[in-house]
C-alpha cells in the first residue's frame, strides 16, 4: 500500500468525527464532487457513501464501502470508480505530541489501475492523498473550533 502521513493539531477523536461524517467527504476527498446519499449507520462495516466523482457532464456515480472500522483509530474503505477500478484505503489515527498523526494507505485492488506497478500508482496517489489529508486536517480543526 502507498502511504502518506500528516500530523494535525486536533485530537484523534476530532479527526475521526470528520471521517464518521459521510456527508463531509466531498469537502476533503480529492476528486469527489457530490455525495448523493450516506447509508444509515455510517461508518459501520458494510455501509456505503453514494458519490459522484469528476465534473459534470462526465461525472461518474459510484460507491465507497466500509470494509472495517475501529473507532476512533482506524477506518478501511473500498472506493469504487468504474470503469477505472477500485481501491482499498485505510486511515489510521494515532495520538502525537502535536495532536493526531493520520496515516492514509491506498492501493488499487480492482480494474485497470490495479495492473499498474506500485511506483506508477504512487506518482498519482501520493500528491492526491497529501492534498486529501491537508483538507481533512482543515476540516478536523475547523469543525471543532468554538
All 3 cell numbers of residue 93? 489515527
Domain count, the chain: 1
Phi and psi at residue 65, to the nearest 5°: -120, 140
For the chain, which ranges sit under pLDDT 50? 144-146
The angle, 0 to 180 degrees and rounded to 10, between the axes of the packed helices 12-19 and 118-143 is: 110
| pLDDT recorded at residue 45 | 98
Rounded to two decimals, the pTM is 0.92
- What CATH number did the domain enclosing 136 receive? 3.30.530.20
| pLDDT recorded at residue 128 | 92
Q: Which of 71, 76, 24 is nearest to 51 (CA)?
A: 24
Q: Which of 114, 53, 109 is nearest to 81 (CA)?
A: 53
Domain carrying residue 85: 2-143
Dihedral over Cα of 8, 11, 13, 18: its sign: negative
Amino acid at each position: 500500500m502507498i502511504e502518506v502521513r500528516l500530523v494535525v493539531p486536533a485530537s484523534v477523536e476530532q479527526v475521526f468525527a470528520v471521517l464518521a461524517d459521510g456527508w463531509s467527504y466531498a469537502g476533503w476527498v480529492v476528486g469527489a464532487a457530490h455525495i448523493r446519499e450516506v447509508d444509515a449507520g455510517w461508518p459501520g462495516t458494510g455501509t456505503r457513501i453514494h458519490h459522484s466523482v469528476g465534473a459534470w457532464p462526465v461525472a461518474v456515480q459510484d460507491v465507497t464501502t466500509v470494509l472495517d472500522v475501529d473507532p476512533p483509530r482506524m477506518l478501511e474503505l473500498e472506493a469504487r470508480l468504474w470503469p477505472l477500478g477500485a481501491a482499498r484505503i485505510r486511515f489510521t489515527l494515532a495520538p502525537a505530541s502535536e495532536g493526531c498523526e493520520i496515516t492514509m494507505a491506498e492501493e488499487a485492488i480492482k480494474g485497470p489501475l490495479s495492473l499498474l506497478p506500485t511506483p506508477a500508482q504512487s506518482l498519482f496517489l501520493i500528491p492526491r492523498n497529501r492534498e486529501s489529508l491537508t483538507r481533512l486536517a482543515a476540516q478536523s480543526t475547523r469543525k471543532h473550533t468554538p
